[in-house]
A and B are shown apart, each in its own frame.
Chain A
Amino acid sequence: MPTENAYLLFDLPGGRLAFGEGDLDIWAEHLTWCYRMMGIPDGATIAVQDFGSSPISFLGSSLLMPGLQRGVAERIGGRFICLDASAERVTLTPALLSQLTVDALVIREDVIELLSAELRKREFAALARRTMKTIVVFGDEPPAFNAARPDSWRHLMHVESTLLLAPQCVKCDCFHLRQGVYEVDGRIVRNLRLAAPAYDLPRGELFPPSHCAAGIGDWCIGWSPRGRGI
């Protein structure tokens, strides 16, 4: 795709973000790191059920946004399936997933129950058992424990207005604040690469660097079992 001089504005819950030249690629590079941290291999097919105004969606490929040189699909040499998160579209997802094999389904937490209900329908029962990594995206509220959800599910913490993206580590189960992308001061988390308001972590436990070998310089956010409703 050609380079385009894009000026982009996103109205988000709790704020507004403006992106200029080069910003989106910085952000897409970090989202790609998050996926790799959650075990998504190069060449993967990723289906994303989120709103188009969410970076989880629009950073998926350079085809989706001007000014984005390489989205996630281009960075991992994979494929990206656009599934809008409106209720109307969520009901279509099981039929679509039955047409091709996806390696990861990334889905907003607030539509997961709707999708689960669709998947429970008789004709899609086999699909629900398919080996597909499911990544549930949530905001600053930790996901409540649900015994019915498979252990293999991963979570991605995403606070849109503060540009906070923290993946759940396959090694330590905590959420990594990547070294060089975020700095932590008390419970305040700041994005070092892009201009965004600081994030005041309301809950959870913060572990300083050296907590996990998967990212030795990363701060990590952990929730106690009680905090997760267990």
Chain B
Amino acid sequence: MRDTTSSCARSEAIETLSGAQLTAWQTDRLREVAIYAYREVPFYRQLWDRAGVEPGLLGSIEDFARFPTISKDDLVQAGNCWTNPHQGSVAFSTRGTSGAPLLVWLSAEEEEAYIRPTMRGFRWAGFQPGMTALLMSPVWHRLAACEAHAIARLGGRCAFFWGSMGTEYTDSFLHTLASERPEFITTTAPFLLSLVRRSPGDATRPHKLFKGVRSVVVVGLPLTPRMREFLRDRLQVEDVFERGGTQEGAATDECRWHTAPHVHEDVCYLEVVDDAGIHVAPGFRGRLIVTKLTTAGSIFVRYDTGDVAAFAPGECPCGCGFRRLKIYGRPESSVLVGDRLITAYDVRMCIEEDPALVGRNVLLVREANTRAGVLTVAVEGDAHDPAKLQARLREQLGVATADIVWLGDLRVNWGFRQVLDGREVRLPGS
């Protein structure tokens, strides 16, 4: 068995570097990755030659910010020119909810790099040796593939339920939960919400099955503070943690202080920029740019995810020096209303001010009249104080009109979608 002690020690040491030390360390990694990408990947060589930037001269974060950003379309168009000779033998798909899906490759070397932060995140979330973890499907996402490896190295047992993350598999999930009695769970937030909000007629009471669960780690939806409380209360688990990540290499995990997920700075360098491409200060929102700090797998250098994100200002009480980043929404989980970009997270924050509406799934509806400043929101369940909610949405989100569609008993397979095209379905009352 390979000794993983030294690599764990390294990852622990990096958490305590000062800001300047961490920046210097990351700058070295960025230069290594850029030099490698220039040498081995024609797409980057051509792009950077055109832009007049030289990887060998990269000596600071400011130098790196002069490298051009790239988009998913650029990579899909690049085809084989984007191939890394050492990209590995296993591929995962991006979700394709914002255009064509992209195949992202994973190698053993890259996975090894990402298992370390996965173990770190799970430790932060309270995982202890000997525990049983009920995990997501390893083929769902490249970060999910790291999870079982991390649990095995932390001395735990891995359990898997049959099926996938759609609402049709909640029974299967509950069956495994009842039979294996895990102390630790990783899943998606939409799946968990669907499970909590199963039909009231169902005999199974989820919180009874969650008895003994210490921690639930969720991905796929930025948690609002009230949503976290709702899940903790309904499931009667000790704590709920948000884990974030993209197929393109971003990796974040919350510590027990829940101030915002920490960026695993040893595997990715994340930036938040404004529309002009300038870094924005912590506390302000911008677009998330991802660079992986490894030369293995598919290479992402200054990849513009289109995600709306912000670094958290100040320091976390936990003492970890890693920056904290909240990803508020993806392009596919936001709508442009008039000239304002509204994320599903913003709408949920607003809706959840009414305790009766906390925990309901919410969908934004993209319709032709969004240009005229009309925000349309579909809310799971029966109507509750609609006039007040409409007023709150108008006032807090700065939209001219807010329409609410109450979905009643309509069963929706929530998946990861938070925005619905108005032409896709006939909503109740429409």
| A interface residues with partner B (beta carbon < 8 Å) | 1-13, 16, 48, 50-53, 57-58, 60-67, 73-74, 78-89, 92, 95-96, 99-100
Contact = CB atoms under 8 A, between A and B. Distances in A.
A92 B159 contact: no
B90 A63 contact: yes
B147 to A, nearest CB: 10
B32 interface: no
Contacts of B101: 92, 95-96
A78 B102 CA distance: 20
B430 interface: no
A11 B158 contact: no
Contacts of B166: 86-88
12 contacts: A2-B4, A3-B1, A7-B158, A9-B160, A10-B162, A51-B139, A52-B140, A58-B139, A73-B90, A81-B90, A83-B139, A96-B101
Contacts, number: 155
Contacts of B132: 9
B139 A99 contact: no
B6 interface: no
Contacts of B160: 8-11, 52-53
A6 B137 contact: no
Contact of B139 (A8, A57, A100): A57
B152 A6 contact: yes
B136 interface: yes
B123 interface: no
A99 B169 CA distance: 30
Given A88-B166, A96-B93, A52 B108 contact: no
Interface string B227-262: 000000000000000000000000000000000000
- Interface majority SS (helix, strand, loop, mixed), chain A: loop
Contacts of B159: 8-11
Given A58-B138, A88-B166, A63 B152 contact: no
Range of interface residues on B (Cβ < 8 Å):
35 or more
Contacts of B138: 52, 57-58, 64-65
Interface stretch (B174-182, B194-202, B302-310): B174-182
A62 B139 contact: no
8 A-B pairs closest in CB distance: A52-B137, A2-B2, A66-B152, A86-B164, A82-B139, A11-B176, A52-B139, A4-B152
Contacts of B161: 11, 53
Nearest to A79: B89
Contacts of B108: 1, 62-63
Contacts of A96: 93, 101, 103
A73 B76 CA distance: 24
Contact of A81 (B103, B136, B145, B176): B103
Q: Which one of B4, B88, B148, B415 has the highest number of Cβ atoms from chain A below 10 Å of its Cβ?
A: B148
Contact of B137 (A3, A84, A88): A84
B149 interface: yes
B81 to A, nearest CB: 13
A187 to B, nearest CB: 26
B163 A53 contact: yes
B113 interface: no
A48 B137 CA distance: 14
Given A52-B164, A57-B139, A84-B139, A99 B90 contact: no
Given A52-B164, A53-B137, A79-B90, A4 B180 contact: no
B415 A88 contact: yes
A1 B146 CA distance: 12
Nearest to B76: A99
A82 B158 contact: no
Contacts of A66: 148-149, 151-153, 158
Contacts of A12: 162
Contacts of A86: 164-166, 415
Nearest to B100: A95
Interface string B98-119: 0011110011100110000000
Contacts of B89: 61, 63, 73-74, 78-80
Nearest to A10: B160
B164 A6 contact: no
B91 interface: yes
A81 B91 contact: yes
Contact of B93 (A51, A64, A92): A92
B171 to A, nearest CB: 11
B150 to A, nearest CB: 9
Given A52-B136, A66-B158, A5 B1 contact: yes
A79 B148 contact: no
Nearest to A3: B1
A16 B179 contact: yes
